[in-house]
A and B are shown apart, each in its own frame.
Chain A
Amino acid sequence: MTSRALKLLSPMEQAGTGGDPGAGARAIAERLERASRGDRAAFSDLIRIHRPRVQRVALRLVGNHEDAEDVAQETFVRAWHGLETLREADRPAAAFSSWLLGIAVHLSRDLQRARGRRPEDAAASLLDGQGPDALAGSMRTPSAITEEAETRRRVELAIAALPERLRVPFVLRALEGQSYDHVARITGVRAATVRTQLVQARRALRRMLGPLLDEEDGR
């Protein structure tokens, strides 16, 4: 499979977490193998596949696009230097994905801590440029647009208001589709702990989103 063909698959499929686990995973494994021998074209393909998720996770954790991109780039730099270690992996494609997210989570945390940033700041920045304009392309009425933007704002605030130790697993599982085991591997805690953290996270979100959850559909 060529790199051109690879691009036809959606990132999710390529990462092997959805749809056909065979072809995408094999393609990634093959690129990993080449990249580990210094093939930059192969690594570029890997970046194209994984960048969206890595950067999204970083964005949820650091709270602004600039830093998120910074974290994402650095994640791939570190990955490049550590590709060798993936050679022994059982399922290199899946392992690579978790590994990347682990690096990104780690770097994001470091950055947050170094700057002593609080999640509410992150939320504020995250919402930059996500007002009504973000939905300008839709065909809704202005009031519906405003309402939806407000809803989205509240949800983002709620997620951002979760303490980091709950937010990271929640983002990885509920927004990035990772399994409990993957979340555990990425964050370096036991799967049982991840389950507990997620119970707390869901409960906290439910409280914060209470009124939104009560609303009737379509109103």
Chain B
Amino acid sequence: MRAPRPCRAWRESLRELVDGHASLESVAAVERHAETCANCAAELQVARRMRGLLDGAAVAELTRAGEEAFIEGVFSRIDSDRSPTGEAPPLRPRRLAPRRAVQLGAASLVLAAAAALLLVVRSHTARPHGLEERPSVAPRVDLAAAADNAPAETVGARSAADRPGRELVLGDERAPLDLERFTADLLHALDATGFDPYRSSDLQPLLLELDMLDPTDLARGARGVLGTDGPQALRGAAARLLGPRADVRDRALLRDQFSTLGHAAARSLLDGGERGVRILWSLSAEGGERGAIAVDALANASAGEDLDPLDAMPAETDPSIAARVAIASPDRMARELLDRFLATGESPWLDAWATREDAEDALAQTLERRPPRDVERSRLVRATTLRPVETALPMVMAALVDGDRSAPAALAALLPLGGADALLGATASGRLRSDFEDAAWRAAIGANADLMLEAALREGAAAVLVSATMRAFAAEASEDNPTLLLVRLAARASGDRALSSRIDALLHLAAIGPQSGPPAPLLLDELAPLRQDPSPRLAAAAWMAWQALGGELDQTPAAIDRALRRGGPPTALHARLTRAVGRRSGARPH
């Protein structure tokens, strides 16, 4: 036995019937099916009535009268336009008789046909024509009334809040509206709630306009819905429909309703192009939830391909918001962000630039492009602190010499890229102002003390390292205290020339004493072997550092004294050490 055709299969036959193209066989087949299917029976009836109306509406057949005159007219036109080009002349200009003009004027005054129809549809029984009821702007959609007409469970609720869980959802309200899809979804949603859109209802206008797919009418319908207090989803959809067609009043309306429509209104404003985008920027400045939605929408747009919201950004926009919108686009070039920072000096642009993968390339290109001027150089130096490039070193050193406040941090970032050697060299040559030199050293040691040590040992610049380090940390204590650096310098430097630097380092260490920074045991481990150094001065300095850092006095002062004397004659340092050790051991009960 053959499976029955699903109801959908009969649709084409019903369409043919409406169009007046159905064969007798196909009509008979639908009729047979309709006997057992109430849905198709109803559809068949509607199709027949529709065809009946169309047949009845056929404009009056032309009479034969005037036929010969018509033919004569054709030939006289043919004869008169034997123009050299062979082109047919345009249709004759309009001759508008006064009577017709009056009628047309009256007709358009009274109402546009579409609007009239809506009213006719609505008030079919109540009013004969409804011609005088033409709304001034848009057909108003009274959703509350629609709800009253409809079964209780329909979508035409007074507000979505009245019926939690029955909310109408019409696609992602952040996405642009796909008209065909929207119409289908809307009808589906209405069907699901048992709402019959074909009945006289105040939702008709929107549905009608949706079917028309005519931009002007659509905007009219959407406006009508937007102006109601109907379900939020429907109003949101109307807002999105309005998007590209919104005029200045619509945008004002969308702005007013931004609190309730949120993302849908934002989407609509975005779709409206530059003017809508400007409104979003101004909303973004308001902060709060409205502002957050606006920023979100702008960021989404930035990530999209069609329009760049930054093009319509007002100059007074908060740069942190602007930068957030900007970096939402994965394709946004670091170059653009860096240029914005260079132009404005606003940190959010700098931060945004630093998030890009090609940030260094952009910086290098900019440096290559032009010798930076004062303000711009300072900004480029700031950029270097975040994403350093080797070619920035000369500029940063020049800025350091000139006392640029960002230069020390930039130099610290450049340590592995030649910055360490450059700092040693500049310090040795005395080119730097002392406070900036100190700042640079503090930054450098904070960033990478080992690197500085390596460079100093490599360049035989232990003395420079020690003195600069000590000066840098003399003025103020710092988290990045240089104790470990000094211990290591003392332990690793070699050669006669370095001896005094090593001793200096240890004496400085003794002077600094225990501080924040590396834990004492670590320092003491490094110090321990130095106490046995063949140089009595170095050994004595190591002992001083040892006791300053709280190292255990594992030998008696006499033993220490003997050990130091083996290395040579006592020194002033030896005397100081003896006093210090004596004080300490004397203070303890032994």
- B15 in contact (CB, < 8 A): yes
Contact with B along A70-94 (1 / 0, CB 8 A): 1111101110110000000000000
Is B208 a contact of A177 with CB atoms below 8 Å? no
Q: Is the CB of A160 within 8 A of B113?
A: yes
Report Cα–Cα, A56/B63, bound state, in Å: 12
Interface residue? B136 (CB, 8 A)? no
Highest count of chain A CB atoms <10 Å: which of B59, B198, B204: B59
- The answer to whether B200 and A211 have CB atoms under 8 Å apart is yes
Q: A184 at the A/B interface (Cβ < 8 Å)?
A: no
Say whether chain B's binding surface is mostly helix, strand, loop, or mixed: helix
The answer to whether A177 and B108 have CB atoms under 8 Å apart is: no
Residue contact A134 to B60, C-beta cutoff 8 Å: yes
With a cutoff of 8 Å between Cβ atoms, the chain B residues found around residue A78 in the complex are 88
B 66-104 to A, binary, CB cutoff 8 A, 1 in contact else 0: 010011011101100100001010011010000010011
Q: Are A208 and B57 in contact (CB under 8 A)?
A: no
Contact A56 B15 (CB under 8 A): no
Out of A47, A56, A126, A207, name the residue touching B211 (CB < 8 Å).
A207
Chain A: interface residue total (CB-CB under 8 A) = 76
Please give the distance in Å from A153's CB to the nearest CB on chain B: 9
Considering the chains assembled together, what is the distance between the CA atoms of A100 and B53 in angstroms? 27
Total interface residues in chain B, CB < 8 Å: 59
- State which residues 8-27 of A face B: CB under 8 Å: none
CB pair B21–A70 under 8 Å, yes or no, is: no
- Chain A residues 144 to 172 lying within 8 A of chain B, measured CB to CB, are 148, 150-152, 154-163, 166
B77 touches A204 (CB 8 A): no
Tell me the dominant secondary structure on chain A's binding face: helix
CB of A211 within 8 A of CB of B112, answer no
Contact B86 A157 (CB under 8 A): no
- Are A174 and B54 in contact, CB atoms less than 8 angstroms apart? yes
Question: Considering the complex, which residues of chain B in the window 41-70 have a beta carbon less than 8 Å from any beta carbon of chain A?
Answer: 46, 49-50, 53-54, 56-62, 67, 70
A60/B67 contact (C-beta < 8 A), A111-B91, A202-B18, A213-B49 known? no
Contact A70-B200, Cβ < 8 Å, known A204-B211, A209-B53: no
Q: Tell me which residues from 204 to 259 in chain B have a Cβ below 8 Å from any Cβ of chain A.
A: 204, 207-208, 211-214, 217
B200–chain A nearest beta-carbon distance, Å: 6
What 1/0 flags go to A125-156 for Cβ under 8 Å of B? 11010100010000000000000101110111
B212–chain A nearest beta-carbon distance, Å: 5
Rounded to whole angstroms, the CA-CA distance of A154 and B111 in the bound complex is 14
Given contacts A52-B61, A121-B107, A204-B208, whether A77 and B113 have CB atoms under 8 Å apart is no
Q: Does B116 contact A (CB under 8 A)?
A: yes
Could you pull out 18 A-B pairs where Cβ atoms are within 8 angstroms? A47-B70, A51-B70, A55-B62, A74-B91, A77-B81, A124-B103, A125-B104, A134-B60, A148-B56, A159-B57, A161-B114, A198-B15, A202-B50, A207-B204, A208-B208, A209-B50, A213-B49, A214-B198
Closest 4 CB pairs of A and B: A120-B113, A124-B107, A204-B211, A155-B57
Residue numbers of B with Cβ under 8 A of A are: 15, 18-21, 46, 49-50, 53-54, 56-62, 67, 70-71, 73-75, 77-78, 81, 86, 88, 91-92, 94, 100, 103-104, 107-108, 111-114, 116-117, 120-121, 124-125, 128, 197-200, 204, 207-208, 211-214, 217
Residues of A at the B interface (CB closer than 8 Å) are 40, 44, 47-48, 51-52, 55-56, 59-60, 64, 67, 69-74, 76-78, 80-81, 107, 110-111, 115, 118-121, 123-126, 128, 130, 134, 148, 150-152, 154-163, 166, 173-175, 177, 179, 198-200, 202-215, 217
